[in-house]
Amino acid sequence: MRNRLVLLPGWGLGTASLEPLAASLRAQDPGLEVTLMPLPELDHCDVQGWVDHLDRKVPHDVWLGGWSLGGMLASALADKRGDHCCGLLTLASNPSFVARADWPHGMAEDTFGTFLDGCRSHPSVTLKRFRTLCSDGAMQPRTLLRQLGVGVPDTDPLYLATALQVLAQLDTRAALEAFAGPQLHLFAGADALVPAEAAQGLSELLPDVEVGLVEDSSHAFVLEYPQELASGIKSFLHESGDD
Active site residues: 68, 191, 219
Which residues neighbour 146 within 8 Å (Cβ) at sequence distance 6 or greater?
Answer: none
Burial class (CB in 10 A: 0-12, 13-18, 19+), 214: buried
Which residues neighbour 203 within 8 Å (Cβ) at sequence distance 6 or greater?
Answer: 209, 211
Closest CA to 67 of 228, 223, 243, 172: 223
Burial class (CB in 10 A: 0-12, 13-18, 19+), 102: exposed
Measured between alpha carbons, how far is 98 from 48 in angstroms, rounded to an integer?
18
63, 84 contact by CB (below 8 A): no
Number of helices (H) and strands (E) in the chain: give both, helices first: 11, 6
Measured between alpha carbons, how far is 62 from 37 in angstroms, rounded to an integer?
13
